Amino acid sequence: MAQLSESVTLDREGDVAVITIDNPPVNALSWHVRQGLADGFAQAVEGGASAIVLICAGRTFIAGADISEFGQKPQGPSLHDTQLAMENAPVPVIAAIHGTALGGGLEVALCAHYRVALDSSKFGLPEVNLGLLPGAGGTQRLPRLVGVPKALDMMTSGRHIGAAEALGDGLIDEMVEGDHDALRNAALAFAARAVANNMPLAKVRDRDEKVAEARGNEQLFADFRATIARKTRGFLAPEYNVRCVEAAANLPFDEGLQVEAELFRELVTGSQSAAQRYYFFAERAANKIPDVPKDTPLVDIQRVGVLGAGTMGGGIAMNFANIGIPVTIVERDLESLDRGLGVVRKNYERSRSTTAEQVEQRMSLLTGSTDKADFADCDLVIEAVFEDMELKKSVFAELDQICKPGAIMASNTSFLDIDEIASATSRPESVIGMHFFSPANVMKLLEVIRGEQTSASVIATAMALGKQIKKVAVLSRVCPGFIGNRILAQRRFEADRLILEGATPEQVDRVLYDFGLPMGPFAMMDLAGLDIGWKAETSKGSTVRDILCESGRRGQKNGRGYYTYDPETRAATPDPEVVAMIREFAISKGYEQREVTDQEVLERCLYPMINEGAKILDEGVAIRGSDVDVVWVNGYGWPVYRGGPMFWADSVGLPEVVAKIREYGERLDGDHWELSPLMEKLATEGGQLHQFSN
């Protein structure tokens, strides 16, 4: 066996050369892998191999280019040259695939003459999620194998397809059952057959039938663009991917490659991809807790309990049923329990990705009860009852009596003090916050809140469970509102004041929507319900919300809130009556009316959020700046192409942000304009919030 570079070896199995990549964790195409591949193909051919098998060691086939190399000085041979050496090899080249063949990894496999894969393997071109397009020929080769509609779908969604689907699409030539050895043997057998039968050295670039079907068909591309327009609003990469596939359909292969290269260059040097690549690593960093080592023993979670079968409780329970963990759901009375379970069933039935059989299988994992004593055999109990400290404390005191030793007791509170809740129990080390976002079965974010005494094992288990249920978990310490809602509160305060000064709800919402957020604060309040936490008996008419609620405006649910809603389509229309009510109220409170610019709206909504994020870091509530970004991207729809609020502030420039906060702070009151000392320090020293770590 020859070691070609630190991560690539060349082996011989009879006449067949076997090139093996071993570059943990995911066999990314780092420079030494490219070097090894270039040498490996050259040496295999020189050595007279009858065929060449390319295989990977470890958990996966190549999962893509090495993202950490983007933006660095190029080193080693280009991927393009390596691919040419493969495609033009004078003997059959067979890619043997297990795990995930993604991005540059799939693009390498597409340069082999044949592809053999384990039945568990997955395939995708997920570059779009990094603000990129496949820049190693994938945009031209994939449509030639799977056809234009499928390639458009895969490249603009980044989704992975399974081996059976890949076989059906012609993306792979053979599917193998079994383990890595079975794969290797199957690939060697394929190679022997290819040699014995003189099979052609099939080059994907020469295939024309499937792309020809879409040639000149502008309508197909226009229709596709329309289907993704809403979901991809603000993003550059999806459109650039479509243009490349259009080029694949309409241009000769080499010209298509040129289009791909030009558009790739534009994306990889642009700000969106820089933000999205940063975000990729930010999400993975969030999992690392400095004082909770990787090998911390986890609590074995065999059964979960959920207290409350309302929207939140039902949604939380679905997450566990989805991965096969049985759940005990406890409600106060049978009627509420049945209603809650009915909603869960409906949610499953409505989901297009759940078959009828899966609906039954998942529902069978949910056991309803009206007796908390049934939590006795649960390893984790999550309460989702009303947000009231006394209620939570009495619930936890009860759980303390019921739960078995070592069971985790979690609160889904969105802002209450976990330490105070834990004080109602005899085992604060087992108490933790697991804050799901609504709808809990859909939203990706899970804020995990550690109390003063929460044990490392409980923290590690909550974080690991988050990953298991396909959420992105971020750890926070205790403070009112934790990371996400504490930042949100600052924006809301300022948005409320802006409409008193003369901005309209529609203007504030539009500015934030145009920035890339899914909706502005007023549309959000209408969606949640204006009367959440509002009581007619105690309303003092002292806020705009009070007067709206008093006049019967409750938000989307009754068709009238800050906006008026079409009963059929739920489309929002700005309401002059509301604008007049706000104006009259503001004047009565002594606010001078003026025209507020869009720029001021943006700065006054976002800069207090940045300031609060910095305070959260300064207090050690969040571990790192990137964690704040992960919370805001996953929990509140901050546009990932702007990285997150901390990354965005750094891209605006901290000195500029600091100067503006000072300027606004001079004329506006409120703690949220009191400059964070950390931000001030970083701005002076040339530091960055998104790189800050406690």
Q: Give the footprint of ligand 3H9 on this chain (CB under 6 A).
A: 25-26, 28, 63-68, 79, 100, 102-104, 107, 126-127, 130, 132, 134-136, 138, 281, 284
Q: How far is the CB of 80 from ligand 3H9 (least distance, A)?
A: 8
Helix (H, G, I), strand (E, B) or coil at 368: strand
CA-CA distance, 96 to 171, in Å (whole number)? Answer: 13
Q: How far is the CB of 619 from ligand 3H9 (least distance, A)?
A: 26
Would residue 357 show up in a list of annotated catalytic residues for this protein?
no
- Smallest separation, CB 126 to ligand 3H9 (Å): 4
Number of alpha helices (DSSP H) and beta strands (DSSP E) in the chain: 28, 20
What gap in Å lies between CA 336 and CA 421, rounded to an integer? 25
CA angle 224, 227, 233 (to 5 degrees): 110
Contact 676, 618 (CB under 8 A): yes
CA atoms of 407 and 172, how far apart (whole Å): 46
Smallest separation (angstroms) from ligand 3H9 to the CB of 30: 8
- The nearer residue to ligand 3H9, 264 or 607, going by C-beta atoms, is 264
The 3-state DSSP class for residue 204 equals helix
Comparison of 132 and 478: residue with beta carbon closer to ligand 3H9: 132
Q: Is 281 or 674 the residue whose CB approaches ligand 3H9 more closely?
A: 281
> Between 103 and 561, whose beta carbon lies closer to ligand 3H9?
103
501 counts as catalytic: no
C-alpha–C-alpha distance, residues 291 and 517, integer Å: 34
**445-450 and 431-436 strand pairing:** antiparallel
- The beta strands (E) that lie in 384-454 are given as 408-411, 431-436, 445-450
Q: Could you give the strand order of the β-sheet that contains 366-369, starting from the edge strand earlier in sequence?
A: 366-369, 327-330, 304-307, 380-383, 408-411, 431-436, 445-450, 472-477
Question: Is 501 in contact with 593 (CB distance < 8 Å)?
Answer: yes
State which residue, 66 or 603, has the beta carbon closest to ligand 3H9. Answer: 66
Q: Nearer Cβ to ligand 3H9, position 64 or 520?
A: 64
Q: Which residue in the list 6, 13, 87, 107 is annotated as catalytic?
A: 107
Q: Residue 313's closest CA among 298, 327, 299, 294?
A: 327
The residue among 28 and 479 lying less far from ligand 3H9, judged by its C-beta, is 28
Q: Cα 110 vs. chain centroid, distance in angstroms?
A: 27
- Determine the straight-line distance between the first and last CA of the chain, rounded to whole angstroms: 46
Min dist. Cβ of residue 65 to ligand 3H9 (A)? 3
Q: Where are the alpha helices (DSSP H) in 286-364?
A: 311-322, 334-350, 356-363
Among the listed residues 13, 69, 127, 592, the single catalytic one is 127
Give backbone dihedrals phi and psi of 193, rounded to 5 degrees, phi first. -65, -40
* 118, β-bridge pairs: 176
Q: How many CB atoms are located within 10 Å of the residue 240 CB?
A: 25
Give the separation between CA 485 and CA 489, rounded to whole angstroms.
6
Q: What is the DSSP letter of 646?
A: H
- Helical spans, DSSP H, in 434-504: 456-468, 484-501
| Nearest to 210, CA basis, from 138, 286, 292, 149 | 149
Report, in Å, the least distance between residue 45 CB and ligand 3H9.
Answer: 24
Which three-class secondary structure string do you get for 575-590?
CHHHHHHHHHHHHHCC
Cis peptide before 645, with omega less than 30 degrees from 0?
Answer: no
Question: CB of 285: closest distance to ligand 3H9 in angstroms?
Answer: 7
DSSP code string of 284-321: HHTT-BTTB-TTPPPP--S-EEEE--SHHHHHHHHHHH
Q: Are 322 and 442 in contact (CB under 8 A)?
A: no
Q: 10 Å Cβ neighbour count for 246?
A: 22
Nearer to ligand 3H9, 23 or 454 (CB): 23
By annotation, the residues acting in catalysis are 107, 127
